[in-house]
């Protein structure tokens, strides 16, 4: 029996000719990632185990992105601990205020992950890098510590689901709409501990930013990872960027898939996930124009904080004003995205519309800072989770959407179709 892309990467890193679903393996790692919340826990485990060195100071990344610039004393102490560890062990890829970005936007941008690599991260959205043809997945901080020490970790080889994406999506349909549609279709446990592998002629219409968004939210369907085949779009993205040696894996023709779905991208409509699960997907056509009043719009995160996301929001906000009573928060994913947006004049559009622009941070996505919700408030957000209390009070609500939908909703004060707003 043939192997999937994911299985081939795992086999290669385990030094095996082949692997099969359910097999337990030990594999060598190309990158171990942590942030300012998860790294301190891993560092404590590192010291408890009496470790005296890391396996490779160039293959560990620590990104201070969740509560930085520090929101309180506890956050400051956490970052101080990571800063001291990074200094002691000469961690090359340590990113602090001024150099940092949202981790899953930053690592691809910096060329630290690429085709054929095996990456673990103490953050569930580490699966983002599958957009580049990598096998990447989230782990706990204890596994992060073990990875920093040994350069290895264990895996149960996942089985896979095949998604065939066909045809060209319409205007205002982005990677976010595609993945929300898929999660709405299969549910938040529809891919539990399986690989979500994406194929089809529709891939040619998906930018790298679209793919990063889709892979990022594979975990919201319970997947172990999401992964795309390497094509010319991938190669163009990694050219003069990826610091490693790319290895392109393709699924065998006789690779086994548990299930197979075909998604006609041309038939999709802008999609919103209602509280309190990403699977509660509805298209804008199914939402009354004044059905859902919002108090806040957040455009950013590791899911939708890249330059194309900010451009999409700016296209909607240009020449318009954020509705009275709505707080619109724009969060570029990295310093480079921030700089590019500034040079392109996007900041002028945001500020003239009445939005605010933040330094790169995960802040509001996890209810950390820079946009906490009060009791009874509703936010439309380009983030990836809308669980109870995710962005603040347990009686607040989060609606997940694309940057275009979030921007349109900020203008009207209600969840809205960007086409309706832009045609006025």
- Burial (Cβ within 10 Å: 0-12, 13-18, ≥19) of residue 205: middle
State the pLDDT at residue 203: 97
pLDDT by residue (tens digit) across 318-375? 999 999 999 999 999 999 999 999 999 999 999 999 999 999 999 888 888 889 999 9
**Sequence spans of domains, the chain:** 5-263, 273-422
CATH number of 5-263: 3.30.499.10
Tell me, what DSSP letter sits at residue 171?
T
Distance CA 10, CA 158 (A): 10
- Burial (Cβ within 10 Å: 0-12, 13-18, ≥19) of residue 22: exposed
Give the mean model confidence (pLDDT) for residues 397-424. Answer: 93
245 CB neighbour count, 10 Å cutoff? 9
Residue 29's pLDDT band (cuts 50, 70, 90)? very high
State the pLDDT at residue 53: 95
Q: Decide if pLDDT at 68 tops 90.
A: no
Q: Decide if pLDDT at 256 tops 80.
A: yes
Distance CA 290, CA 81 (A): 48
Residue 290's pLDDT band (cuts 50, 70, 90)? confident
pLDDT by residue (tens digit) across 157-182? 999 999 999 999 999 999 999 999 99
- The token pair that represents 410 in the structure block: 């900020």
State the pLDDT at residue 302: 95
- The token pair that represents 403 in the structure block: 């940057």
CB 87 within 8 A of CB 58: no
Can you name the CATH fold of 273-422? Answer: Aconitase; domain 3 (3.30.499)
Q: What is the pTM of this model?
A: 0.95
Give the mean model confidence (pLDDT) for residues 239-268. Answer: 95
Tell me: cis bond preceding 69? Omega within 30 of 0 counts: yes
pLDDT by residue (tens digit) across 38-51? 999 999 999 998 89
What is the percent of the chain with per-residue pLDDT over 90, rounded to a whole number? 92
State the pLDDT at residue 368: 87
State the pLDDT at residue 424: 60
Question: What residue spans of 38-140 are helical by DSSP H?
Answer: 38-48, 73-88, 103-110
- The token pair that represents 102 in the structure block: 């949202």
State the pLDDT at residue 164: 97
State the pLDDT at residue 423: 74
Give the mean model confidence (pLDDT) for residues 175-190. Answer: 96
């Amino acid at each position: 029996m043939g192997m999937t892309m994911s299985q081939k990467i795992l086999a290669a890193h385990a030094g095996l000719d082949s692997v099969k679903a359910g097999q337990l393996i030990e594999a060598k790692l190309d990158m171990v990632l942590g942030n300012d919340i998860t790294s301190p826990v891993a560092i404590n485990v590192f010291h408890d185990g009496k470790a005296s060195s890391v396996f490779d100071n160039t293959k560990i990344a620590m990104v201070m992105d969740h509560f930085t610039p520090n929101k309180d004393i506890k956050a400051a102490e956490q970052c101080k601990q990571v800063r001291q560890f990074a200094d002691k062990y000469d961690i090359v890829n340590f990113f602090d205020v001024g150099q940092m970005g949202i981790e899953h936007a930053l690592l691809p941008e910096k060329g630290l992950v690429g085709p054929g690599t095996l990456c673990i991260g103490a953050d569930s959205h580490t699966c983002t890098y599958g957009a580049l043809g990598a096998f990447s997945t989230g782990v706990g901080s204890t596994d992060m510590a073990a990875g920093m020490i040994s350069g290895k970790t264990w895996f149960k080889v996942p089985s896979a689901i095949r998604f065939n994406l066909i045809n060209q999506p319409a205007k205002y349909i982005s990677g976010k709409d595609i993945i929300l549609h898929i999660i709405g279709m299969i549910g938040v446990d529809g891919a539990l501990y399986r690989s979500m592998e994406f194929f089809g002629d529709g891939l040619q219409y998906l930018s790298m930013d679209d793919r990063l968004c889709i892979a990022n939210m594979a975990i919201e369907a319970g997947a172990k990872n999401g992964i795309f085949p390497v094509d010319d779009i991938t190669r163009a993205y990694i050219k003069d960027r990826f610091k490693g040696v790319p290895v392109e894996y393709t699924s065998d023709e006789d690779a086994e898939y548990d299930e197979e779905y075909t998604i006609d991208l041309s038939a999709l409509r802008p999609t919103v996930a209602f509280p309190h699960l990403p699977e509660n997907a509805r298209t804008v056509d199914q939402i009354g124009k004044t059905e859902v009043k919002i108090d806040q719009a957040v455009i950013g995160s590791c899911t939708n904080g890249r330059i194309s996301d900010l451009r999409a929001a700016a296209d909607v906000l240009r020449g318009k004003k954020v509705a009275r009573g709505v707080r619109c928060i724009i969060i570029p994913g990295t310093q480079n995205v921030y700089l590019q947006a500034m040079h392109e004049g996007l900041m002028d559009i945001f500020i003239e519309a009445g939005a605010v622009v933040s330094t790169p941070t995960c802040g509001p996505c996890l209810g950390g800072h820079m946009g906490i919700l009060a009791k009874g408030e509703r936010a439309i957000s380009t983030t990836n989770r809308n669980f109870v209390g995710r962005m603040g009070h347990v009686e607040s609500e989060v609606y997940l959407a694309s940057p275009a939908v979030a921007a349109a909703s900020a203008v009207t004060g209600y969840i809205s179709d960007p086409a309706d707003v832009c045609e006025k």
